[in-house]
Amino acid sequence: MRDFLPPPLLSAEEEGPNSRERVFPLRLTFECFVWQILKPKTPCREVVRQVQALFRLAGRGRIDEGDSAYVQARLRLPQERLEMALSATAQAADDRAGQAGQINGRPVIVVDGSSTQLADTSENQKLYPQPSTQKSGCGFPVMKLVALMSLSSGAVLNVALGNLHYHDLRLLRTLWDKLKTGAILLGDRAYGEFTTLAGLLKQGIEAVARLHHARKVDFRKARRLGRNDGLFVWTKGCQQSQILSPSEWALLPAQITVRIIRFTATIRGFRSRRITLVTTLLDPKLYPAQELVQLYARRWRLELCLRDLKTTMGMEALRCKTPDMVQKELLAYLVAHNLVRCLIAEAVARYSVDLERVSFKGSLDALRQYSDAIAKARSKRMRGQLWEDCCSTWPGTWYAIGLTAPSPGPSSAAPNPTPCSTSPAGVSSKSLIAAAIGKAAPAIFGALTKGHSGRFLVL
């Protein structure tokens, strides 16, 4: 991490709780937190055992065996430091990835939403309530998030958090100021509507998104730019958008000109689908329709970044008990993800391989195994050789695009073979089994005794 994070980021504070000399200072706490994230389902006790072993190896003596000191150190870790680490690692990944994901020198930012389950505590339930369709005591708190990701490197640039009652547009609105002038925002159909396009355009940010399903398109009314490609004028509605304040709504222009492109997506083995895009990139010479279609197709690969986070790294369920620690845990996941992206981008630049074809899972597996060997190496030369070997394996773990690339479906819903409970956790399992048998007994008895008169089944 030394090459990806500025040294002052994790230095001790001049005053306050993080200014004292402790067993777990800011830097060690941060590194332990990231190490814990990279090894799914690792308890705090195992982190302490790792630190004990490293302290003994370095001749620094013994430390307390309990995990209380580490738990308190995570509580003291400022959330602002994690946010700064997220920005620093995202910038480092983009610097190493180059301009592969840019269009005419303009960076492309992908926006997408997801959610994650939290530990079932009263504090989490209060801020991030469970879905209203679940009975009380039978569900888990759910945190909703909207992430901005770089198309060049796949790193997460920023994130907005909320509960299930927050729409993706409302969360994205909190990130408008995080987008740089001149960037291009790429999103799905949730973002292809007037308020978002007009608001971003006012800040000098262009957008490409799938057209919102409520919009109907008639190309006979368009100023034609080509086949299924034309300019339309959208007018601001009479009803104020709920994601803006009255003053912000008043500042939006009364009309904007948008470009709408319609094409048919054909994937071997699947039915053809008609897709309609809307964009504020109006110049057909600078931004040909085919280039914008290919740009939207690349968004699918970025959706897999959320799958990498939730399924591969285990972010589908966070384990901390309070909202403050949940937010830190999520940021730690994003920082760990970006660090892996930095290493992948570095290896890809070294071996001249297409970044989008490198498997995140394969790279993470190699990193986990080689890091143990590097820690046990006795010389600096051997550590360097092991690191070179680790980097050389990453370009070999690649997807054959269009053939074996996995579906992004699991990113939105993790597989769960266990049936959902419909009774609170306090209800006895014996009473549930008895109730289930009581309801099913007549049907089972009838099915088993049908045609077998004179034989009886005893339950």
Distance CA 312, CA 306 (A): 9
In order, the DSSP letters of 116-153 are EE----HHHHHHSPPPTTSPTTSS--EEEEEEEEETTT
Summary mean pLDDT of the chain: 83
Q: Tell me how far apart the terminal alpha carbons of the chain are, to the nearest angstrom.
A: 63
Name the band, by pLDDT with cuts 50, 70 and 90, for residue 92.
very high
pLDDT at position 172, please? Answer: 94
Q: Greater confidence, 14 or 182?
A: 182
pLDDT at 432 over 60: no
What counts of helices (H) and strands (E) characterise the chain? Answer: 13, 9
- Per residue in 365-409, pLDDT (tens digit) is 888 888 878 877 888 888 888 888 887 776 655 544 333 344 444
Q: Greater confidence, 225 or 455?
A: 225
pLDDT at 454 over 50: no
Which range in 77-81, 262-266, 270-274, 412-416 is most confidently predicted, on average pLDDT?
A: 77-81
pLDDT at 411 over 50: no
pLDDT at 443 over 50: no
pLDDT at position 99, please? Answer: 81
pLDDT at position 392, please? Answer: 78
For residue 78, give the amino acid letter: P
Count the Cβ atoms, other than its own, within 10 Å of residue 7: 8
pLDDT at position 459, please? Answer: 27
Name the band, by pLDDT with cuts 50, 70 and 90, for residue 425.
low
pLDDT at position 343, please? Answer: 87
- Per residue in 250-278, pLDDT (tens digit) is 999 999 999 999 998 877 777 888 889 99
Distance CA 253, CA 249 (A): 9
pLDDT at position 440, please? Answer: 45
- Per residue in 334-374, pLDDT (tens digit) is 999 999 999 888 888 887 777 777 888 888 888 888 887 88
pLDDT at 4 over 70: yes
pLDDT at position 44, please? Answer: 93
pLDDT at 457 over 70: no
Helix 323-351 × helix 26-38 angle, to 10°: 80
For strand 255-265 and strand 273-279, is the pairing parallel, antiparallel, or unpaired? Answer: antiparallel
* Domains present along the chain, CATH in parentheses: 1-77 (no CATH), 79-312 (3.90.350)
Name the band, by pLDDT with cuts 50, 70 and 90, for residue 448.
very low
Look up tokens 């309990």; give the residue: 66
Which of 78-87, 164-173, 412-421 comes out lowest in average pLDDT? 412-421
pLDDT at 449 over 50: no
**Mean pLDDT calculated for residue range 16-21:** 76
Q: Which two tokens stand for residue 260?
A: 């709408």
pLDDT at 202 over 70: yes
**Mean pLDDT calculated for residue range 302-312:** 85
Burial environment of residue 284 by CB neighbours within 10 A (0 to 12, 13 to 18, 19 or more): middle
Name the band, by pLDDT with cuts 50, 70 and 90, for residue 206.
very high
With pLDDT > 70 as the criterion, what percentage of the chain qualifies?
Answer: 85
**Mean pLDDT calculated for residue range 159-174:** 93
Give SS3 for 186: strand
pLDDT at position 48, please? Answer: 93
pLDDT at 166 over 80: yes
- Per residue in 231-251, pLDDT (tens digit) is 999 999 888 888 899 999 999
With pLDDT > 90 as the criterion, what percentage of the chain qualifies?
Answer: 46
pLDDT at position 383, please? Answer: 86
Name the band, by pLDDT with cuts 50, 70 and 90, for residue 429.
very low
Distance CA 36, CA 51 (A): 12
- Per residue in 188-200, pLDDT (tens digit) is 988 999 999 999 9
Which of 106-110, 118-122, 216-220 comes out lowest in average pLDDT? 216-220
**Mean pLDDT calculated for residue range 277-293:** 93
pLDDT at 451 over 80: no
pLDDT at position 348, please? Answer: 82
Q: What are phi and psi of 321, to 5 degrees?
A: -95, -15
pLDDT at position 400, please? Answer: 42
pLDDT at position 5, please? Answer: 87
